[in-house]
Chain A
């Protein structure tokens, strides 16, 4: 993930659209990644990406450069994802989703990059029954691969809360997968 220079941020603060375009081009991937894994819906994820950058543009004047720019963008995006999760109805994984999940699980190619629709199926199978907070902590920690310190900054939760939410999320996922027959291998 590419870090955004302070110089670019300052130009954005001054209202430079071309600098902001550069920010969007460099950060939209990570926002899309987070929102797709949180919401398991390509269109909803794109909407969150758009809403996130509108907010970033509106609030960039109040951005404190003591914190990482990407972390700040992640914070905005994760709040928007949680808001949207409260509004949308969770869709249970279909047989098709389970089949795709199985294909991904069986694939041992370490270079393989999943497509968006494959991510939708994987996330639906794994995290469909998790609460918003559990889903956020699980996504940031296990799917995005962020460090605990970064997750603390993004979510505003303390280390113990992160630990307990992650434990609960993993337990829930493990039980689901055992029910689906993944326990005996």
Chain B
């Protein structure tokens, strides 16, 4: 075992020589160039970043606008509901009217208007004779 200990002592700190050290250095530097090129390719141009930012901001603003409009519509609906509650017609007032009631009243008005138009046309025709 003593000769092994001697051998270990002799080997301590010995550095094996690299076979063709210059070629290894060159290959390391080439690999680093390759890594750098990949890194450069991954860099996003400034204008792309700018377009991305602007479109993101625009999208957010559009969304806020839509939300705002939606809120206006809701308040208009609420106003309409209250008007509907006080709907009055020539046929009489309608308290707590529903949309269906209003539709019926509108139909009645239309029929009435058509009838008066027909009468007017008949009257006009009788004058001609």
Contacts and interface: CB of A to CB of B under 8 A. Distances in A.
Interface of A: 17, 20-21, 24-25, 28-30, 32-33, 36-37, 42, 46, 49-50, 53-54, 57-58, 104-106, 108, 110, 112-116, 119, 122, 142-145, 174, 177-178, 182-183, 185
Contact of A105 (B4, B21, B29, B32): B4
Given A21-B29, A58-B35, A177-B1, A142 B17 contact: no
B17 A115 contact: yes
A183 B1 contact: yes
The 3 closest A-B pairs by CB, nearest first: A145-B13, A33-B15, A145-B12
Contacts of B14: 113-114, 143
A50 B24 contact: yes
B104 interface: no
Interface residues of B, number: 26
Contacts of A28: 18, 21, 24-25, 28
Nearest to A46: B24
B2 interface: yes
* Chain B interface mostly: helix
Contacts of A185: 1-3
A137 to B, nearest CB: 14
Interface string B1-44: 11110111011111111110100110111011001000000000
A24 B1 contact: no
A142 B32 contact: no
Given A17-B29, A21-B29, A112-B10, A32 B3 contact: no
Contact of B3 (A30, A58, A106, A142): A106
A30 B27 CA distance: 17
A33 to B, nearest CB: 4
Contacts of A142: 8, 12
Given A25-B25, A28-B28, A46-B24, A115 B16 contact: yes
Given A20-B32, A113-B17, A143-B12, 8 more contacts: A17-B32, A21-B29, A28-B21, A29-B18, A50-B27, A113-B14, A142-B12, A145-B13
A54 B25 CA distance: 11
Given A17-B29, A50-B27, A42 B19 contact: yes
